[in-house]
Structure 1
């Protein structure tokens, strides 16, 4: 059993309780314009190129088996060019030969054992802090069989497990993963199906159905709501989500809290490295606007539905 992992982040304190190791899996069914990890969207490995680090030495040209790299003469001297990016297999041969780190591979094949071994290196921190492992992405459910084996192995080792998800998978996938997940970090991007489709490329009916299903199973869920200026931060839309969650909490849903994550442009540089245009034209919130959101949430937070603005994301 192997999966495609594009990053592992140790000592995280923002994606579940305690100190955690984040395992980022490739592949996502949504295309959110504000995505901060665009290298996660494709399920296959990809090459990222940082032109500011390139010396146009040409080492990558003969290394690439697909012949995608070339050098060209320009008014500023010799420049490096990557063509037919869609033909790239993500083998990493070019990155291996690049002396300046201008080329790097996003995504590599790992076995369940390799992932679990990496996770367990920090086991003492989990025991001390109540932390554990969080599977993220991309969307971890797109590699459901691999995710399930990793979660099972971590729990066998006494590690707390969390799964960060956009909710876009069939219910059977969630039903099979749920017994091995201690905490779900679950995205709600918009309550209106058509608006959700316009923002992400897919409707939200399956997402909301899966969320209700997890509540019915008694799973603990931390709700996460990205705030994107002018796209999904209108008070009426937020109130609709809060009302739905209050109803679920009144019925006994185990809601760990609701985190609102203000928009940032951290992913913009990664789009350039992938040779893609950054699709979101929104401007980050001002401090005054963020303070207004804090007041908005404070007026609506209840003991059964704690709301908070999370500035790290």
Structure 2
């Protein structure tokens, strides 16, 4: 039985597709977006998160660590990652959950049991299951198996993706998906690589191919001042959307927020955090107006 590395399963989600949904977050992403609000999703390996504000100094974690990798300091518990094997013994005994292990191998049968338990909410609200991440297409074999199992039960299926994958994988996933949520970061490929670690030629090519299948796509733009909120990029984005086959005239804008800063601190890599500026309400309205002039309806959120 295949397993997938999952770092979170969110019940009662209302922003990841229609109705009330369950969102399954895969761990691991092949982009390294500097503004990512889920930095815990980037690594394809199990990680440990430590929240010093929850720590009460019970030191049970120190006593339970088989490798003596933990040390109590004036700033809380510090982990020596050269000695730590990420066994999770510290998290098991922490009374306040100051330690949290990120990433768990979940079998298809266990995942479907969790999903089936929420089916009543799907039926009443027109909801279903959303596969997100990280990047779900990195786990294509497991993802396809989960999508097919959901299909057998007539659950509405959404894949939230960057579209950075082998095209044949994306198109095979499309056969078992009702809706794609796809981020459009920035249209200039060099700038895209500067801020995400990869160029966007494969992404653009994949989106063009996906649009030809007439599947439903909702584009979501993480709106970051100084990166992609300028008139030139918005115009290029609108032209690209309008060039696609099918009706693609609705998009979601996701204004930047710095929620990731505290997560980087908890992961012990605060130096990796890059702060950006959130567009003002006036700037957001200007972006909405530009899209409108191209016949595209842009709304905030979603």
State the secondary structure of the residue aligned to 2:175: helix
SS at match of 1:180: coil
Deviates more, 1:214-223 or 1:140-149: 214-223
The 8 Å contact of residues 26 and 134 in structure 2, kept in 1 or not, is answered as yes
CA deviation digits over 1:196-243, x for unaligned, max 9?
Answer: 000101110111111111112222111111111111111111110110
> TM-score if structure 1 supplies the norm length?
0.90
Q: Give the corresponding residue for 1:308.
A: 298
Q: Which residue of 2 aligns with 1:253?
A: 246
Task: Establish whether residue 16 from structure 1 lines up as the match of residue 9 from structure 2.
Answer: no
CA gap of 1:238–1:66, structure 2 versus 1, over 3 A, is farther
**Per-residue CA distance 1:259-306 (angstroms, 9 max, x = gap):** 121101122111110011253221323333333334344444x2xxx4
Match of 1:261, SS state, is strand
TM-score under structure 2 normalisation? Answer: 0.93
User: How do residues 235-274 of structure 1 correspond to structure 2 at under 5 angstroms?
Assistant: 235-248=231-244, 252-255=245-248, 257-274=250-267
Residue 132 (structure 1) aligned with residue 128 (structure 2): yes
- C-alpha distance 195-93 of structure 1, shift in aligned 2 (>3 A): same
1:292 aligns with 2:277: no
CA distance in 1, matches of 2:301, 2:179: 21
Preserved CA contact (<8 Å) 2:27 2:135: yes
User: 1: CA distance between counterparts of 2:54 and 2:45?
Assistant: 24
CA contact (8 A) 1:25 1:40 kept: yes
Gaps spanning 5+ residues in structure 1: where? none
Unaligned 5+ segments in structure 2 are: none
Pairs aligned (count): 300
Q: Specify whether residues 311 and 220 from structure 1 end up closer, same or farther in structure 2 by C-alpha distance, changes over 3 A only.
A: closer
1:167 and 1:89 map into 2 onto residues whose CA distance is 33
Alpha-carbon spacing, 1:196–1:105, altered in 2? closer, same or farther (3 Å):
same
Partner of 2:221: 225
Distance in 1 between the 2:174 and 2:67 partners?
Answer: 41
Given the superposition, is the C-alpha separation of residues 296 and 217 from structure 1 closer, same or farther in structure 2, using an over 3 Å criterion?
closer
Q: Which residue does 2:156 correspond to in 1?
A: 160
Match of 1:82 among 71, 79, 83: 79
| Contact 2:252 2:301 (C-alpha < 8 Å) held by counterparts | no
Find the counterpart in structure 1 of residue 276 from structure 2: 282
Deviation of 1:88 after TM superposition, in Å, equals 4.4
Matches within 5 A, 1:34-45: 34-45=35-46
Deviation, structure 1 residue 254? 4.6
Residue number among 193, 196, 213 corresponding to 2:189 in the alignment: 193
CA RMSD of aligned residues (A): 1.8
Tell me what 1:2 maps to: 3
Q: Using the alignment, how far apart are the partners of 1:154 and 1:192 within structure 2?
A: 37
1:33 is matched with which residue?
Answer: 34
Partners of 2:161 and 2:181 within 8 A in 1: yes
